[in-house]
Structure 1
Amino acid sequence: MKEQFLLLINSHQGLIQKVGNLYGNSKEDREDLFQDIVLQLWRSYPTFRGGSKVTTWMYRVALNTALTRLRKETKAERFVELGSEAFQVPAVEGGPSEEMAAMHRAIRRLSPVDQALTLLYLEDCSYREIAEVLGISETNVGFKLHKIKSQLRTLISIA
């Protein structure tokens, strides 16, 4: 099987290079894309049944690989283009009350999962929504919220 695959790649490497030339911006990009395509071809080779021409199958895999990579790079570039000014937190007039500040400090002392659950609860999410987001049952949401409320009362009273 390995030998047949390598023969296939050698005889149709021009096809892979065409896709690489089309979607790669530099020599390194084209080489990386070539390797990614060969890897995807190897992964899908055992499932190729010959229902279409080998070149049709290779183009499908190569183009899907290139387009997937392009989408990932495009998403990454969108975030890279944001300057640091985009992440400046606007000043809040007056700031939180002492009670709210104490509540925020107490919430930060909870486990990360309990912090997430508390955030969702404070955002008025239903138990069903919280359960879906966290991957737990609605019953478990209720149990955890009861426990968290008790923990918060204790943490605030100590502070």
Structure 2
Amino acid sequence: MQKELENKFLTDFESNQNIVHKVCRIYTTNSDAHNDLFQEITIQLWKNYHKFRGDAKFSTWMYRVALNTAISLYRKSTRSVKTQDISEVVYKVQSTEYDDTEEQQLKSLYQAIHKLNDIDKALIFLYLEDKPYKEISDTLGITEVNARVKMNRAKDKLKKILNP
């Protein structure tokens, strides 16, 4: 029974692990922190997998666990010294995919997202993933109306950061 559960978890996790990487990218600024957060999220997913009832899609449940873990660790963190700029982490892979203008815009967007609070980061992240408001509200544990209101506020904050 345990082996069957492990195999099911590995199958579900492997097909959705990009979710964890994206959450890590939003909440960390260097590769060591990214790897640590990825590992912590994976542990939390495995520890709580037996609680996954299947009421929602696995990916929705995974977003929720990943975001809650990232937010909890981010809040506990007292680090004030950053050892690597986010642009070095985010753009190593993507630099060949975009022209210079697009790369600079993407870099600016990620830097602006890093200035948002925890919940706003999660909202923007899910919005950029093209998640419907229903799924965003389920993932964050808020009403759909509240998700829309918070999203508009987060977008306004991003606009102010990007266009002071």
Q: Normalising TM by the smaller chain, what interval?
A: 0.3 to 0.5
* TM-score scaled by length of structure 1: 0.46
* TM-score scaled by length of structure 2: 0.45
